Amino acid sequence: MSEGQASDGFPVNRFRAALERRRPLVGLWTMLNAGTAVEGLARAGFDWIMLDGEHTPMSLADAVAHLRILDASPSIPLVRVVWNDAVVMKQYLDAGATTIMVPYVQTADEAVAAVRAMRYPPRGARGVAVLHRASRYGRLADYHARAEESLFLIVQVETRAAIDRIEEIAAVDGVDALFFGPSDIAASIGLLGQPSHPDVAALIDDAVARARPSGKAMGALASNAEGAERHIDAGFDFVSVASDLTILFRTAEQVAARFTARAAKAVSRKPDHTDATAAAPH
């Protein structure tokens, strides 16, 4: 694993180290769950790539394969787990995921539960195993005592209820960053399918302003390029600017539209031989 090392050789969390460079980190959401796509995207120039385990069919085994690709690339892997579940998080942590996003955190208690799932006893409740990918199969002798140093927890703020409690959630020790999901926030205030609505942007801006004093990093998903630019200019620490599905499908639509239009023009310029053929003597 290539997350970097501290002076004593213990792994350093790449995402935390990148955030310390004090510029917005630009990321891509990958939903294709295809190793070749991840491998190509890993060298496309994004600071980080999100492996989405919530809204895609990505399995734990798929995630491990993608992590192996990304750990050896310039792009930093982030993993969104399917739910705020200690058993699920244990599996991904043991598999070597070091920066984890937990969806749909609405209260401080739920944030505390996520933190506890990331930590070994006595500070948490993570199950203990020795031979797993995270500890380099037992070769990091002090892994259990120092695992927290290599981990980074992002909790997702996705509802009006979470925004109303944003100061409490941000104050939880062990939460490293808050990430705002505009689509679910929009749905929670009666604007389903309108993530770019001004009311959604206003709610997020207000929540960020209230959470900033916590010192936690702030991230957001943008629903379009204009939104991504707005988030970057507004000082978010990390921004998801696109998804592989969007890039693939929208580009495919543009290519198809361009060349079908060209083909239609070509047909209109062809002489029509139908009448001449019908009138020809037999």
Residue 81: partners with Cβ closer than 8 Å, 6 or more residues away: 53, 54, 88, 89, 92, 100, 101, 102, 103
Cis peptide leading into residue 122 (ω within 30°): yes
- 60: three-class secondary structure by DSSP: helix
Rg (CA), the chain: 23
Measured CA angle at 15 (ends 214, 167), to 5 deg: 15
One-letter identity of residue 164: D
Cβ(28)–Cβ(243) under 8 Å?
yes
Cβ(97)–Cβ(77) under 8 Å?
yes
Cβ(205)–Cβ(231) under 8 Å?
no
Cα distance between residue 204 and residue 185, in whole Å = 9
Is residue 66 annotated as a catalytic residue, yes or no?
Answer: no
Cα distance between residue 267 and residue 247, in whole Å = 30
Cβ(38)–Cβ(69) under 8 Å?
yes
**Which residue in 55, 66, 197, 282 is the catalytic one?**
55
DSSP state of 139: T
Cα distance between residue 30 and residue 52, in whole Å = 7
Cα distance between residue 116 and residue 114, in whole Å = 5
Q: What amino acid positions are annotated as catalytic residues?
A: 55
